[in-house]
Structure 1
Amino acid sequence: MNVNKDWYDNIAIENGILDIPYEQINKERTKIGFGKYGIVYKTTCSLIEGDVAIKEIYIRNQECIENFINEVRVHSLSRHRRIIQIYGISRNVKKNLYYIVMEYANNGTLRDFLSKNNPVDLKERIRLAIQISEGISYLHNKLYISHRDLHAKNILIKNGNIKISDFGNSKCFINDQKNFESHNVLDNSPFTFYKVSDIHSLGVILLELSNCRKTSHKELISKRCLKKDCLEIHEKSGMTSNLQLKPLEPVYLNTDKKSYIRAIQSPVF
């Protein structure tokens, strides 16, 4: 495989992604995040109005290529207001650097938002929680994709609204029961093979959202201890799939009962 051409051209053509000439991206950049595979910068692009975010990935092996391709494909499929949208891809062949050009979330990560605005009003926290659930529900029920790396730093906020990002580790779970059932929950690797792991991650995110602080190490350990229980629930899901849940009573936000949330009548996921 020609690492500088074949796979890059194919991913652009197959997914209808704009191949943005590297010269069109502004060289003045502000670092706003980083991860296992790349660094994220805020900058501008002459082809796109306003600020953009670019994820810079140094392609050093096949794993980096697969991560890049996976993330681009998920972004190209996503057409939802709770998912960060992609504008195109670019590359600096001389330096072996590849870029995903995306919309810029001006309020940063959920974790940064909670830190800067602590305490966050209860109604606002509930609104954000609902939006996070909307995004995950879309991934699971429309795209059949498990994110597999959900946490408060991969959930961004743009103009006060949630945007889920970072899909390099995501996976299509349709017809993927064998991978889930064979996963050893006692090993040291993250529990990431099925969408139920996203629900666990959502629980940790909601805990962080409700407390307006980063989840503690002790709380994360408690999450890992639930892995086996999660598998058992999945194995028994055939027995409970036809269970009809009754709607819950409204949950009031204050003592005078003027403000409340109506519980949904069916599960989100």
Structure 2
Amino acid sequence: MIGKILGNRYEIIEKIGGGGMALVYKAKCKLLNRYVAVKILRPEFTSDEEFIRSFKKESQAAASLSHPNIVNIYDVGNDDDIYYLVMEYVKGKTLKQIIKEKGPLQLEETINIGKQIALALQHAHNNHIVHRDIKPHNIMITDDGRVKVTDFGIAKAVTSSTVTNTGNVIGSVHYFSPEQARGGYIDEKSDLYSLGIVLYEMATGKVPFEGESPISIALKHIHEDIKLPSEINKNIPKALEDIILKATQKDQTKRYNSTKDICEDLEQALKQPSGSFVKIEDDDDSPTQVIPAIKDEDIKLKNSTYERKNSQKSNRTIMWSAIITAFILALIFTGGLFYLKKLFIVPEKEVPSLIGIELEEAKTNLENLGFGVEVAAEKNSDQYKKGYIIDQEPAAGKICKEGYTIKLTVSKGPKLVEVPTFINKNINEIEYLLENAGLKEGIVKYENHTLPIGVIISQSPQARKKVPKGSEVNFVVSQGPRIRFILMPSLVGQDINSAKRTIETSGLKLGNVEYRFDENVQKDIVISQSIKAGTEVEENKAINLVVSKGPEEVSQPSEEEELQMKSVSFPLFYDQAKQEEFVLKIVKIQNGISTDVYSAIHHKSKSGKEKITIKGRDKATIEIYFDNELITTKQIDFETGKIYD
């Protein structure tokens, strides 16, 4: 599978994991030039058409989820009967690996991870998606401590199709809810049970139930109570233990109603680790008591005694009753009626709107109306500043008696997150870092710099600073070095040394220097330059020069050399001549030296062709000109007499 390209886009690089359903590979997306994780279904699942349809449907539904604590799904496809799911590549470890390495986690770490899992589930549940397979293996912890939950929607595809066909329960039985083990109705509370088991394992380092087979473990989930976490780890505080016990109730109705409720209790557990604020429903409202049987003799004896005592007291009772009645009537007629009315009839008032008001102002308003005040909770809020009211109970407009206590929820201000380091990273590759940190891209400015184009020079706020979640980070990005343009000087006519100095002092570079013979230009004088004088040119541009070697010294060959030369005849075709009369010139080029070996006036012959003979040694290039217009070029080997085009 390594090296295979799926969908003409995803190149498989290496295997990074696997489970009962699929194998997971790291891959490179050739279209977007980024790393992704590709989950490839095992062959036993791909033969079930109903499962494949459900798998596609549920994966596409899960792809609609967008949350910082959920692994994004990018694509679903198949290639040559290979069904695959393309997901966000998360660099980090699974929660299972971390528990194996560390053992029981600290309270703060357990609660922090638990809250992030719950927030991911809350987003999924709000979108009517139940995970069904929450376990540490499906929870990634990034290098910067962020939780990423994966495999949303896939467990449902398995449950609705493959389980029916095989009769087996597929998944992680150590984290199953009792209703999953029974094959009963599964809802959001089933995910909360699995979350409770994950919290149990983080707090103790162990799962609550072990067995020789998956069936035996499933039966324990149905029938047996979990062992108290504090019996395994004595350092577990009461609040966390109560949260775990409530989440793992066998009866779905006795668990948390929503992920929001468990999040609130987890937050409270950090403030009150030993608190008793978690409410777990008992099976009975009151304990059963043993009442002893009553005998007939006891009843008769008590009746006779009662009648005797009653007859002795009846006269006294009548007398005192009359006195008390007269006293009460006297009080009523002397003003007691108004006192009693004031004592027993409490005025009622309307509860004012307090949301968005500062706490001290809200207290003053309530106390002036005769209400009591209680700060019930403090929560982060992106909408309200620290110290302002974000919720109240009862709501504004309700009618309550004086003295009633109004419960207030006060803002702790926006949740603060740490700004990562973006300097020296490419501006096009920071989206992932921003999303993980809960931040947004702000103003991006570009400046000239020695760093490559696109690399971040500076950021604001600075790295490691705590800022409200959702804050913008502004960047200054390199657009490469500043380019300075220079007006090209004229170098033609200067000697080569002067030209070099002019090039250097102008901020340019000397390129190639070619030397040529020239009868009209003195030796070492610049004949031409690669860029025309007066043209704007970039700083440090290389300038090529052609420099004169002076007139070519052509010496007459000696008699001995003349004897050693050989003659070669080659045909000329006059149909290329434009005039009836024209100048025929032949130039021999040998060892880089050009020599005119023939020049004469010719007339077009009737046959249209003629042979010309020239002398020479070794190999040479022959150029033939009609009226100074190059007609053809030949390669001649004087030793063999052969002519080549």
Provide the TM-score with structure 2 as the length reference: 0.29
Task: State how 1:1-269 maps to structure 2 within 5 Å.
Answer: 22-36=7-21, 38-57=22-41, 58=43, 59-93=46-80, 96-118=81-103, 120-140=105-125, 142-159=126-143, 160-166=145-151, 167-170=153-156, 189-191=182-184, 193-217=186-210, 222-225=220-223, 229-231=250-252, 233=254, 250-252=271-273
In structure 1, stretches of 5+ residues that fail to align are 1-19, 172-184, 238-244, 254-261
Instruction: Provide, for residues 225-267 of structure 1, a one-character-per-residue CA deviation record: whole Å limited to 9, x for no partner.
Output: 3799424548xx9xxxxxxx9x9683149xxxxxxxx89899x
Q: Residues 128 and 187 of structure 1: is their aligned pair in 2 closer, same or farther, counting only changes over 3 Å? A: closer
Q: Distance in 2 between matches of 1:233 and 1:122?
A: 24
Higher RCO (CA 8 Å, separation ≥ 6 residues): 1
In structure 2, stretches of 5+ residues that fail to align are 158-177, 212-216, 226-247, 258-264, 275-376, 380-407, 410-645
SS at 1:91's partner residue?
A: strand
> Are the equivalent residues in 2 in contact too, given 1:30–1:43 (CA < 8 A)?
no
Q: Distance in 1 between matches of 2:114 and 2:201?
A: 11
Q: Distance in 1 between matches of 2:254 and 2:59?
A: 33
Q: Distance in 1 between matches of 2:9 and 2:146?
A: 29
Residue identity matched to 2:65: S
> Are the equivalent residues in 1 in contact too, given 2:181–2:221 (CA < 8 A)?
no
Larger radius of gyration: 2
Residue identity matched to 2:49: Q
> Are the equivalent residues in 2 in contact too, given 1:145–1:170 (CA < 8 A)?
no
Q: Residues 222 and 263 of structure 1: is their aligned pair in 2 closer, same or farther, counting only changes over 3 Å? A: farther
Between structures 1 and 2, the one with greater strand share: 2
SS at 1:135's partner residue?
A: helix
Instruction: Provide, for residues 196-221 of structure 1, a one-character-per-residue CA deviation record: whole Å limited to 9, x for no partner.
Output: 11111111011011123445427875
Deviation (angstroms), 1:29: 2.2
Residue identity matched to 1:42: K
Q: Distance in 2 between matches of 1:81 and 1:25?
A: 24
Instruction: Provide, for residues 50-95 of structure 1, a one-character-per-residue CA deviation record: whole Å limited to 9, x for no partner.
Output: 43111112421124313421442232210111111012233212xx
Q: Residues 189 and 108 of structure 1: is their aligned pair in 2 closer, same or farther, counting only changes over 3 Å? A: farther
Q: Distance in 1 between matches of 2:113 and 2:101?
A: 15
Q: Distance in 1 between matches of 2:204 and 2:66?
A: 31
Q: Residues 191 and 131 of structure 1: is their aligned pair in 2 closer, same or farther, counting only changes over 3 Å? A: farther
SS at 2:155's partner residue?
A: coil
Q: Residues 88 and 231 of structure 1: is their aligned pair in 2 closer, same or farther, counting only changes over 3 Å? A: closer
SS at 2:93's partner residue?
A: coil
> Are the equivalent residues in 2 in contact too, given 1:40–1:54 (CA < 8 A)?
yes
> Are the equivalent residues in 1 in contact too, given 2:179–2:185 (CA < 8 A)?
no
Instruction: Provide, for residues 131-190 of structure 1, a one-character-per-residue CA deviation record: whole Å limited to 9, x for no partner.
Output: 0111111112x212211121111222233211111121238xxxxxxxxxxxxx789545
Q: Residues 230 and 29 of structure 1: is their aligned pair in 2 closer, same or farther, counting only changes over 3 Å? A: same
SS at 2:13's partner residue?
A: coil
Q: Distance in 2 between matches of 1:47 and 1:192?
A: 43
SS at 2:28's partner residue?
A: strand
Q: Distance in 2 between matches of 1:154 and 1:188?
A: 19
Deviation (angstroms), 1:27: 3.3
Q: Distance in 2 between matches of 1:150 and 1:191?
A: 17
Residue identity matched to 1:91: N
Deviation (angstroms), 1:49: 4.2
> Are the equivalent residues in 2 in contact too, given 1:70–1:170 (CA < 8 A)?
no
Deviation (angstroms), 1:130: 1.0
> Are the equivalent residues in 1 in contact too, given 2:36–2:89 (CA < 8 A)?
yes
Q: Distance in 2 between matches of 1:228 and 1:104?
A: 35
Between structures 1 and 2, the one with greater helix share: 1
SS at 1:170's partner residue?
A: helix
Residue identity matched to 1:148: R
Deviation (angstroms), 1:102: 0.3
Q: Percent identity?
A: 24
Indicate the RMSD between aligned Cα atoms, in angstroms: 3.6
Provide the TM-score with structure 1 as the length reference: 0.65
SS at 1:146's partner residue?
A: coil
Q: Distance in 2 between matches of 1:224 and 1:190?
A: 11
Deviation (angstroms), 1:191: 5.0
| Larger deviation, residues 105-114 vs 195-204 | 105-114
SS at 2:63's partner residue?
A: helix
Deviation (angstroms), 1:32: 1.0
